[in-house]
Structure 1
């Protein structure tokens, strides 16, 4: 690029052109960048994701009526946030966000402004990733920013300064295999870092008024040694679904708390907030639960869920269920509860309950289907606990029984699970969580009887709590309200109502509305449980 002009400033028109050339250069070379992927199932391919992200970013520039340096950078940043795809795309959007911050208040970009903007770009991107990994695009971006900041006084020519930054970035990219063993094994440099180099090189060609070639010269010593399926291990996939979406109207949402919550559902979590918009990416086995939490915070758009294990199978390698640290087997009496369990992360569900007690063999069959190092069992009924414990003793696997006697206890226990904790720590925490929730059940009597001084007639409605019949009556709603009145105390915050298959949604909603008026200090949630025999299962926390 010896013919770079002696221009010492970049105005808004030039910055726009540099972004456009950067996007075009990446588009030309995206397939080659894709070939650098070393992980078994990327979120799509790195080059394609980055290219689609940056192309959407640049497309937004055509909507600007009056160009300013900050306006161009900010628009590119916002466009990338909305259009981001995959980990690499989201990180790129954050690099652009930081770069835009460095352009704020500037009429032109000179050596010092560019250096600061590059440094901010890396800083913002690092903060967006909870567990940054060195040897990736983040490393390349950080090194270029630090090099720029350290050499602002050494160079007085803007073109030469930017060439030196690019050269330093290439040098760092060449070292990424020494930082990540998986790159060294495959004989490639980091794909995201290479994509970033594509963008920077294209931008410099715009600055130098050069035409883009058909493809750039890549800086890996063995370009023919990309990745074949022999390097790919299906057990590297811990969570099966790559889940992405955007939350709108989320100005008041605490993105840090949201990020921590999503880490309880999976990994590869990115939560990026830009004004009132939050971009979310995570790998999880429970995309429904992630969407449910997000939907409670704002409107959702651009929802994208990919089954990474199917993607892996599509690459020509047999789709083998990966061995994961933890698996879960629970007994469920209804289809709605089964769906809820799946959303919570339950691996296998056994249909059963009060009148359908699963056998020890039923548990063993499901335990065998869970390809996990440790399996937790949830019997969810006092009559099923012994069978579950027997199965745990017979099984060849490491199995713990969480003595949940009710559905709410199971849910509370699952929420106490930590994917990073050791098995015994999890067993203790999950077993203790059972005591944090009060359970109520509303059903009917199948015969005349007398118990605890109560005369019960066949088909009477019964309200049960703590294993005891507390109330009887003829009206389902009245008995339910009486039962909740006893269960709720001054410390109660949440009432959950799970209605059965014989209860209409209309009746259940009417009950929930009435309960919300009576217990106005509590949040009331209504869910379809689909359980037989029980009109309602109630939870108070």
Structure 2
């Protein structure tokens, strides 16, 4: 558990002050995250900036707490590392680089900056510089602008021989003034009449810094916007502009790679999408980008080094339509293996997380998706048995935040489709969950896969290249062709009855496969209907559901 903030005044910017700053920042972002989510307009109006900043700060605080009684430099390094490995979204990734900049600033402080005030001012300046360098195409009117203004104000206070608390107050005031001006600098904010959400979060973090050094709690004073926009309280929910067209996916991963390879990766990702932020150093990096081709973004990471903790999120049609300030009564969060399934579930009103093979979302990713769904009640479809533990852990976190969550024990994407088909957002929560659980449980599922090597299975020995037909998770058929194996699987599944067959075709499935299988079902089972969907890239060659 994060350590409790110590509400006291410090004479120096030392390790104890940093620990208190961290705890107060987590608390401030925790109080403000829903309101910051509500004014999230740029770069994507997906109502998650406050949540991403909070999760990043929480990860940083855990790492700082684990560092124990370290000195100032070691404490800040641990803090920055925790933010790096736990960074979420565009804003969280920038916050991680700001903290790394603070750590780097403490490591290269000039001889004439040894006083606490000058030391802090130098660290905040280095933080702003490194944050700008981490963003491929910096935009003014954003979190970066607020960081730069805070650094300039801190330098002025430090040059005037101010104390660390004086410098922190100057940085806080400079950030607040810059935040109020962001709607004039960025058209999307001006149209919506809101300040920048990431900048709003940074103001909360700097307010925590001043509180840690002075013992005084920042006041929630109104900040004037431009003449065309109403005054905005820090933080306060405001209306958001309609989201502009842009890439459909957010891709994040940690990357172990050498710096020259990361330089090439930046160029590659810059050509694939936008909102590119690469932060870190010393062989470990956090990569964030918005793209239409998430597979290519991950492949670029593989070419550069070793990517892991890969998180791919589809922004979702429902979030694009919804005003961020609105809070739905009920939402569905679904984990799906393919891009086509993500689009299909999104059209059905679900918030989706794309989980390609080997990249299943962890509890943090699922918890963030629940928060992005922005609802009082959430039905979670984990998609597979290997994601069940993470789903329950995420549900517990959401319940602690006052969200009512039910996890439907789906073991396949076709069971999730069956559950979505009976979802009734207007009915009672309990009745909806029972109906969705019953529909998922009544759906037998199968998957066709290609064997990668010779191995023993429950259906016998398979060779590399064989087509495996798995029914309810176990290999039941070994064949040489996709169509023939699928027919054998259908024969076994329909032998015990059924009313509806769902086929989800993978990206490499032959065009005639659906027609052949539909004809096969119709010929042998006249009363059984068939529906076919395109699973899209990353999905299995064929998924089958029988209800």
TM-score band by shorter chain is 0.5 to 0.7
User: Is residue 123 of structure 2 the alignment partner of residue 117 of structure 1?
Assistant: yes
Match of 1:358? Answer: none
SS in structure 1 of the partner of residue 223 of structure 2: coil
User: Within 5 A, what are the aligned runs for 1:117-156?
Assistant: 117-156=123-162
What TM-score do you get using the length of structure 1 for normalisation? 0.54
Deviations 1:51-83 (A, max 9, x none): 111111111011114311111111111111111
User: Is residue 248 of structure 2 the alignment partner of residue 245 of structure 1?
Assistant: no
User: Within 5 A, what are the aligned runs for 1:429-440?
Assistant: none
Match of 2:242? Answer: 232
Q: 1:292 aligns with which of 287, 294, 299?
A: 299
- The 1:44–1:79 alpha-carbon spacing in structure 2 relative to 1, beyond 3 Å, is farther
User: Within 5 A, what are the aligned runs for 1:393-432?
Assistant: none
Segments of 5+ residues of structure 2 without an aligned counterpart are 1-6, 226-230, 325-338, 341-479, 483-506, 512-547
What TM-score do you get using the length of structure 2 for normalisation? 0.53
- The 1:55–1:280 alpha-carbon spacing in structure 2 relative to 1, beyond 3 Å, is same
User: Is residue 263 of structure 2 the alignment partner of residue 256 of structure 1?
Assistant: yes
User: Is residue 81 of structure 2 the alignment partner of residue 78 of structure 1?
Assistant: yes
| C-alpha separation in 1, matches of 2:152 and 2:20 | 25
Shift of the alpha carbon at 1:309? 3.5
- The 1:220–1:192 alpha-carbon spacing in structure 2 relative to 1, beyond 3 Å, is farther
Cα RMSD (Å): 3.3
Shift of the alpha carbon at 1:192? 0.9
Deviations 1:411-442 (A, max 9, x none): xxxxxxxxxxxxxxxxxxxxxxxxxxxxxxxx
| C-alpha separation in 1, matches of 2:321 and 2:299 | 29
User: Within 5 A, what are the aligned runs for 1:303-382?
Assistant: 303-313=310-320, 315=322
SS in structure 1 of the partner of residue 41 of structure 2: coil
Shift of the alpha carbon at 1:92? 0.6
Shift of the alpha carbon at 1:252? 5.7
Shift of the alpha carbon at 1:531? 8.1
User: Is residue 26 of structure 2 the alignment partner of residue 23 of structure 1?
Assistant: yes
Match of 1:282? Answer: 289
Match of 1:14? Answer: 17
User: Is residue 24 of structure 2 the alignment partner of residue 32 of structure 1?
Assistant: no
Shift of the alpha carbon at 1:227? 4.7
SS in structure 2 of the partner of residue 117 of structure 1: helix
Match of 1:382? Answer: none
| C-alpha separation in 1, matches of 2:157 and 2:259 | 40
Check the 8 A contact 1:13/1:67 in 2, yes or no: no
Shift of the alpha carbon at 1:293? 2.5
Shift of the alpha carbon at 1:301? 2.2
SS in structure 2 of the partner of residue 189 of structure 1: coil
Match of 2:90? Answer: 87
Deviations 1:224-252 (A, max 9, x none): 895546x314xx222111111112x3236
SS in structure 2 of the partner of residue 254 of structure 1: helix
Check the 8 A contact 1:4/1:159 in 2, yes or no: no
Shift of the alpha carbon at 1:152? 2.2
Match of 2:276? Answer: 269
User: Is residue 202 of structure 2 the alignment partner of residue 192 of structure 1?
Assistant: no
Larger Rg: 1
- The 1:64–1:204 alpha-carbon spacing in structure 2 relative to 1, beyond 3 Å, is same
| C-alpha separation in 1, matches of 2:114 and 2:59 | 24
| C-alpha separation in 2, matches of 1:4 and 1:219 | 27
| C-alpha separation in 2, matches of 1:305 and 1:501 | 32
Moved more, 12-21 or 42-51: 42-51
Segments of 5+ residues of structure 1 without an aligned counterpart are 318-337, 340-499, 503-527, 533-541
